Amino acid sequence: MIKDLAAREDGTVRVSGWVEKVRDQRYVQFVVLRDETGAVQLVNGGVLREPDPENPRSDVLVPRTTTISELTQGSFVTVTGELQHNERVKLGGVEVQIDEIEVVAASLPDNPVAGDSNIDVRLDWRFLDLRRPEQNLVFRVQTAFLHALRQVWVDRGFIEIQTPKLMASASESRAELFEVEYFEGKAFLAQSPQFFKQMAQAAGFGGIFEVGPAFRADHSFTSRHATEFTSIDTELSWIDSPEDVMELHEELLVAGLTAVKEQLGAEIEKLFGIEIEVPSRPFPRIPLAEAKEIVKAEGYEVPRADADMDPEGERRIAAHVRKKYGHDFVFLTDYDASIRPFYHMRNPENPQLTRSYDLIYRGTEISTGAQREHRIDVLEAQAVEKGMDPKELGFYLDFFRYGVPPHGGFGMGLNRVLMLMLQQQSIREVTYLFRGPNRLLP
C-alpha cells in the first residue's frame, strides 16, 4: 500500500492505484498515483539512445515508454520500480522510478466529475466522487466514531441488537411512513426502532444499542433531511431520571469525538481546514421554555409558543451557548407534552411537561431522548389523550402488562453528526449513497 512506502528502504517495489494526474514533459514524465491509503509520485525519466558512430552528437534522451502519455485520469495501473527517498518530494518524501507499468483497467477520458462542484452531478457519479481524499476521510471518520461508541456500550455490558425494518403496523402514527406491498397485504418501513428497543427492556436485556437504517417519507429538501438515514439508538433500564440518559449520551459523544481527533485529527485539519473539538462535560442544559425566552430577548421569537424550537431558534440558542459557555452542544429539556409522543414520561411536578430532551449540536438538532413511561395504566391514558386507539397498540402495550423497569434512551442521526463535526454544508456530502424525495439512484 502507498502509505507503507515511506517506512521501506530504497529498492524495488510494486504499487497499484488510480491515476490522479499526469505531467508529461519532453524527457521526463510524472504520474500521481493514489490508492485508498494515500498518493505517491511516479517518475519516468529519459534514457540514452545508442549513439550513431557517424554522428557522435546523436546521443539524446528519449522517454522509456509512451504508455504514460496515453494514460487517462482514473485508469487503474500496477507499477514496478525503484523506491527512492527524496525530501524534496512534497508528496510523502518518496517517489518511484518506473521500470514497468501495466494498465490493468483503462478509464474513459471524459471523467464526468472532474472539476465539477455540483452536488447533484457528483451524486450521479458517486463512485467517482468517493475517490476524492476528502470523501475517503469522511468514512474513515465515521468508522472511528462508531467504533468508539461501540466500545463504550460494550464496556458497559450493553447488548447490540438488529431490529426489523418491515413492520405490520405504524410505530407511532402513519405520518411520514413508507407503505410497501408485502405478499397479499401491506407493510411499513420503520421510521424508528423505538418500540423494539423498549421490548428489549421488557425482555430483561438492560442496556441495548443499534446502528441501522431508518426511513421517513418526508418531503423536505433541506440540507439535513433524508428519506433513508442511519440511526444510532440506545436504551437502558434502571434509570432514575432522564439525567441518566443524558450522561450516557455525553459519554458516547465525548468518546467518539476523542477517537476521531486522536486518530484522524491531523488529516481532517489538512483536508478540511478545521480542528476537531472534544466537548467538556457536562453539556449545558436549558429548559425549552427558557431557551425560547433567551432567543426572544436576543431578537428572535419562535413563531408558535406551543411548538418545538424551529431551525432558526436552534441556531440562535446554539450561538448563545457558544458565546456564554464556549460549548458546541446544548440539551434542550422539559418539552411540552403536546409536542412529544405518548410514551414519554410526564414530569410529576408539572404533567404538562415531559422528561425529555433534544440535543443541539452547532445549531442543528441531532437527537431526541427521554425517560419512557413504564406504567401500563398511565401509558394507556396518555395514548388515548393523543387520540390513539390502545387496541392498535396491542403488541406494544403488552410489554408493560408483564413488568418493565424504569428505562429511557435516545435516537441520533449519524449523518447529521458527521455533517456538523466536519462542518459540511449538507448530509449529502457525508452519506455513502443519499436517498431523498427525488433521488433513488445510484
The DSSP symbol for 370 reads E
368 is in an annotated binding site: yes
pTM: 0.93
111 is in an annotated binding site: no
Measured between alpha carbons, how far is 335 from 277 in angstroms, rounded to an integer? 28
365 is in an annotated binding site: yes
172 is in an annotated binding site: yes
Instruction: Please state the domain extents for the chain.
Output: 2-105, 126-430
Indicate the CATH number of 2-105 among 3.40.190.10, 2.40.50.140, 3.40.50.970, 3.30.230.70. Answer: 2.40.50.140
216 is in an annotated binding site: yes
Nine-digit cell string for 208: 441495548
Q: Would the CA dihedral through 323, 324, 327, 329 be positive or negative?
A: negative
Measured between alpha carbons, how far is 178 from 59 in angstroms, rounded to an integer? 74
Its CATH class, for the domain covering 126-430, is alpha beta
* pLDDT digits (tens), the chain, 442 positions: 999 999 999 999 999 999 999 998 877 899 999 999 999 999 998 544 455 566 555 444 444 566 788 899 999 999 999 999 998 998 889 999 999 999 999 999 988 988 777 999 999 999 999 999 999 999 999 999 999 999 999 999 999 999 999 998 765 555 689 999 999 999 999 999 999 999 999 999 999 999 999 999 989 899 999 999 999 999 999 999 999 999 999 999 999 999 999 999 999 999 999 999 999 999 999 999 999 999 999 999 998 777 899 999 999 999 999 999 999 999 999 999 999 999 999 999 999 999 999 999 999 999 999 999 999 999 999 999 999 999 989 999 999 999 999 999 999 999 999 999 999 999 999 999 999 999 999 9
Tell me the longest C-alpha to C-alpha distance in the chain: 108
122 is in an annotated binding site: no
304 is in an annotated binding site: no
301 is in an annotated binding site: no
